[in-house]
Amino acid sequence: MGFREAKFGLIAALEGGDYVHEAREAQNEKNLLAVGEVTRAFVIGLLRRTKSDDYGSSPHHADASVEVHVFRPMAGAVRWYVKAYFAPDASAVFISVHRS
Amino acid sequence: MRILREGDCGTALAPDGRGWVPVTFGYRTVRLEETGVDVPNVLVGVDDETGTILIIPSQSTPRLKAARELVKDEVFQVRIPHELEDILVLLADQFGASPSKFTPALLRFYLTEASERRALAVRLVKLSQGPLARGRRGVKLSFRGSSAFTSSVRRTSKAVRGASKSALARGAIIAAKEDLLDGRSPSRTEKMQAVAHAL
């Protein structure tokens, strides 16, 4: 999956509320979207401003067939970090959303 | 937004290499890793095989947020200019302490005294209006304080005109510069030395 497809796929998932957060017994508070520190509208804004230079992907450590998308946009003077992947049903799974 | 119910099914990526596995949504207690708060009755997706939590649906976010908000009452957070952060680091260095530990101790020291002595609170407000305290507030200062401390700061803010949390903090740093770096208050210097030794 390329940059544009990942970017707009995540935006669509956020807009449709079609996303979950990766979790373990202890919820990682580095996912500021999961704990409500930032809104989905804010994350959509981050994704919209992400340029291809601020994007990368890599295999998920638990399953190499799953591509993890990493967006590192600047918002003002702050660089943000949005990490997510897609489930088989095309819903999004967020791993982390935080300031870099 | 689709609202999930207890008993609904989904899939999640297992962390142990099993790939996509079935989960069933149910209500569990979730621990917030950094704040250490246990949040009860959070809808989560639980691995059908192992019983561990694998995913949290977006509808559970407000519940986690509410739990963090309660804890946030005890987090003291202000934004200060870089120059004031420089002063804090200089002070920590002077007292032989790490800035990350010294800064909260210094601010608690000054702001607690300001809550007990109106004259100091007024001084801090005045100092917060000086040029050094009015730079671009590019640094976020954040530390946990007891609810007694945060309550005392709120009381001071209500009792003294212009004594916002930010003004008090910025004024405290300037006061510390005058008292401790510039040597204008030997008694406070002695007290802060004792505080630094205890860190």
What is the CB neighbour count within 10 angstroms for residue A65? 9
Structural domain harbouring A60: 3-99
Nearest CA in chain B to A33: B61
Higher-scoring residue by pLDDT: B61, B147: B61
Predicted ipTM of the assembly: 0.91
pLDDT level of residue B66 (50, 70, 90 thresholds): confident
The two beta strands, A26-27 and A92-99, are: unpaired
Task: State pLDDT tens for residues A46-59.
Answer: 999 999 999 999 99
Are the beta carbons of A25 and B58 separated by less than 8 Å?
no
User: Shortest Cα distance from B10 to chain A (angstroms)?
Assistant: 10
Copy the structure tokens of residue B28: 């569990």
Q: How many domains does chain A have?
A: 1
Stretch among A34-43, A73-82, A90-99, B34-43 having the lowest mean pLDDT? B34-43
Measured at the CA of B195, the angle between CA B189 and CA B199, to 5 degrees, comes to: 140
In angstroms, the Cα distances linking B20 to A63, A73, B14 are 9, 29, 6
Q: Please determine, for residue B188, whether its predicted confidence score (pLDDT) is greater than 90.
A: yes
Task: State pLDDT tens for residues B115-142.
Answer: 999 999 999 999 999 998 988 988 999 9
Q: Supply the pLDDT for residue B18.
A: 94
* Interchain CB contact of B16 with A (< 8 Å): yes
* Residue B173, H or E segment: helix B165-176
Interface subset of B 32-71, CB within 8 angstroms of A: 32-35, 44-45, 52-58, 61-62, 64-65, 68
User: Shortest Cα distance from A65 to chain B (angstroms)?
Assistant: 9
